[in-house]
Amino acid sequence: MQSKIKSVLVLGLGKVGSLVAALLHDTGFTVTGADQKAGGEHPFAVTSLDVTSPDQLTGALQGCDAVISCLPYRFNLGVAKVAHQLGVHYFDLTEDVPTTKAIIAMSRSARAVMVPQCGLAPGFIAIVGASLANRFERIRSIKLRVGALPCHPTGLLSYAFNWSPEGVVNEYLNDCEVIEDGLQKSVSPLEWQEKLVIAGIQLEAFTTSGGLGTMCETYAGRVENLDYKSIRYPGHAKLMNFFFHELLMREDRQRAGEILVHAKPPVNEDVVYVHASAEGWQEGRLAREEFVEAYYPLAVAGGKWRAISWTTAASACAVVELVSRGLLPAKGFIKQEEIPFETFMTTHNGRLYSGQAHGGNLA
């Protein structure tokens, strides 16, 4: 590892943030983890911090080369503003589109990199999708699907809230950016349902917000159809439409999240499905390329971690490594789809994806 980034502040020591900090520590970075109520035993330094206080954030970032926000999306813009002011590299895991657009605008005058959306989806899925698309002379479609699910589902909903309920509710209610027949547009979430089968498991997929990151902008004029969908067990979308729209829970997002996580708490045995495909013309012939993986809990960084935790954390940490090694730009906004898949997979943390391969064809 080169010395462009030596010290990293990780904000939020929840299910993903604590692993981000541990992985970066194992990679060789000097890491400080910060949370409102810091506690527990960690191999890295830990401090208490109120992220809503610009003064406290400024003090915590003094002497740091980079900050990674693993906080709920509503806190990210405040963190990004302080990092921008101090010239500190900024990374986050957000899927929130307005937050990302504000950070993109800020990045035009940044002295360091600003890299939102560098988790799993958006994040890793865009790196995979772009790698597939690059194999074509002309692209007809790019279809990206990701789902974090319980391995042993129960009940009609067949789900467990291993990810932030606030983030899931946001994805299920915000409009979704797509390219359809060459036109960039917004469509409703929980629509465009389709059937998927992965390793003999029947699944469904439907539109959700934020998973494409900046790909609509990148591929405008270059692809006829581009969309992102979340993967779930069959029947999930119908029940969520009933919950949000017929019962009007869309009018109280916070309460909706509380009800859902109370009914379907996290489980330890989960699976993350990644299904990406691209179609287009190669040497004048129509062809299709696919990347299909199922990722499971993994023993890493001194513990066993849920699939959704390590796939999200490893992607963010791999991007930090690439910036540190000088393999990505040193300042400004970095799009996930501009990160070469092969280079990503050479990093200490990117290699975790190849160790769990179940049929993908990019490595």
Q: With contact defined as beta carbons under 8 Å apart, do 185 and 262 qualify?
A: no
* 200 lies in the same domain as 343: no
What is the pLDDT, as a whole number, of residue 2?
A: 40
φ, ψ at 80 (rounded to 5°): -60, -40
**131-189 pLDDT tens trace:** 999 999 999 999 999 999 999 999 999 999 998 888 899 999 999 999 999 999 999 99
Query: Nearest-5° angle of CA 8, CA 13, CA 17?
Result: 65
User: What does pLDDT average to over the chain?
Assistant: 94
In the DSSP assignment, the letter for residue 243 is: I
Query: Nearest-5° angle of CA 294, CA 297, CA 301?
Result: 130
What is the pLDDT, as a whole number, of residue 167?
A: 87
Beta strands in 162-222 (DSSP E): 176-180, 183-187, 194-198, 201-207
pLDDT confidence tier of residue 229, bands split at 50, 70 and 90: very high
CA distance 346 to 196: 30
What is the pLDDT, as a whole number, of residue 255?
A: 97
The answer to whether residue 359 is domain-embedded is no
What is the pLDDT, as a whole number, of residue 11?
A: 97
The structure tokens listed for 116 are 């939102």
The structure tokens listed for 71 are 């906080």
CA distance 47 to 186: 41
Work out how many domains the chain is built from and give that number: 2
CA distance 93 to 115: 9
CA distance 286 to 323: 36
* 155 lies in the same domain as 42: no
**Alpha-helix residue ranges (DSSP H) falling in 150-235:** 165-173, 215-219
Domain that holds residue 230: 124-305
The answer to whether residue 332 is domain-embedded is yes
Residue 3 pLDDT greater than 60, yes or no: no
What is the pLDDT, as a whole number, of residue 355?
A: 67
User: What mean pLDDT is predicted for residues 187-197?
Assistant: 97
**43-74 pLDDT tens trace:** 999 999 999 999 999 999 999 999 999 998 89
Tell me, what CATH number does 322's domain have? 3.40.50.720
The per-residue DSSP string of 302-317 comes to TEEE-HHHHHHHHHHH
User: What mean pLDDT is predicted for residues 306-332?
Assistant: 97
Residue 230 pLDDT greater than 80, yes or no: yes
User: What mean pLDDT is predicted for residues 235-259?
Assistant: 97
Single-letter amino acid code for the residue at 60: A
Tell me, what CATH number does 245's domain have? 3.30.360.10
SS3 content of the chain, % helix, strand, coil (to 5): 35, 30, 35
Give the rounded percent of residues in the chain with a pLDDT score beyond 90: 89
The answer to whether residue 204 is domain-embedded is yes
In the DSSP assignment, the letter for residue 336 is: G
Residue 1 pLDDT greater than 50, yes or no: no
Q: What does pTM read for this prediction?
A: 0.93
